[in-house]
Amino acid sequence: MEEFHMPLKENFQELVQHGNAGFPIQYYVNSLHITGNNVPMHWHPNLEFFVVHSGKVKIHAGNSIMVLEQGQGIFLNANCLHSYENMAEEGECCCPNVVFQPEFIAPVNSVINKQYVMPLTLNSRLPYVLLDKGSDWGRSVLERLDRVFSMMQEYGEIGRYGEVPRLSFKSTPGERECFEIRVMCEISQAWSELYRHRGELELAPAVKNEHVLQIRMQKMIGFIQSHYAEDVSLQDIANSASISRSEASRCFQSYLHTSPVNYLLKYRVERSMQLLRDSNMTVEAVALECGFSSSAYFCKLFRAHTGMTPKQYRSS
């Protein structure tokens, strides 16, 4: 459960500009090296296409959790709270993705934006769309993304997170000249597929006061991430969002499908993995630093989450 380090606001908005004003799209590769490695919960006002190139990934998007395997992908709508975790039993998991502004498809005041882009980006019941080869349009979108990834890998600028692993794609990048136009065309055609088949897309159930629920979750998760090393109770977590313990539990079950206390323990283990990897602290010291009162309980919980003892993880 090693966590990818990402600059975030307190409300989990990612503090990164993707691409630049002249070409507002950025190519990345989420490279999760061992089981449990993850990209933390975050959101951005941009659109994102993500594909599993190798391995198996658990994706939390909105109120849903799903596992995608090699060859499958997902479209993540603007402002969708999401995270990724490597679920492969062994080996690295590599997932190329592109993050771009809606304006990359069409200018804000254009007919194209109003008629074809906004109906999808403003649909609160469409936080994501799963992509696989089970349908002609899904296969078409994945093929277009393969071409986009190939071109962006070859000619795109390096993003905020630095160099990314080089992957092999079915498509060749072609010549550098006009690659930006080709990328824009492929993204636009992929979007056209989503729009033309919008009637087939599975919509999320309408959630009453979903905005309120997300704010509460952001407050409670933020509290846990700031106070995990302290003696934290369920009441403390609930108080951070000014709600009852039962409401806090309901929010976590609805959004993360776990309890507040289990999320706290999982987060403590994640932080301990970072200390085991990056410091010379003893296992006992790491346990105390991460909020565990007993090193024996820490070791038991660590093994339950990772399949390894703290010492085995450190040596690996």
pLDDT in tens, 77-104: 998 889 998 887 767 789 999 999 999 9
The length of the chain in residues reads 316
Structure tokens, 122: 């403003």
Instruction: Check: CB of residue 224 under 8 Å from CB of residue 248.
Output: no
Residue type for position 87: M
- Identify each DSSP E strand in 33-153 by its residue range: 38-42, 47-51, 56-61, 64-69, 73-76, 82-86, 93-100, 128-131
- The type of residue at 312 is Q
Residue 3, pLDDT score? 44
**Dist CA 96 CA 54 (whole Å):** 10
d(CA 287, CA 283) in angstroms, rounded, equals 6
- Note the pTM of the prediction, 2 decimals: 0.79
Whole-angstrom Cα distance, residue 58 to residue 83?
8
Q: Is the dihedral of CA 70, 269, 258, 7 positive or negative?
A: negative
232 token code pair: 């934290």
Residue 115, pLDDT score: 97
What's the pLDDT tens digit per position in 168-186? Answer: 999 999 999 999 999 999 9
Per-residue pLDDT tens over the stretch 281-293: 999 999 999 999 8
Are 61 and 31 spatial neighbours (Cβ–Cβ below 8 Å)?
no
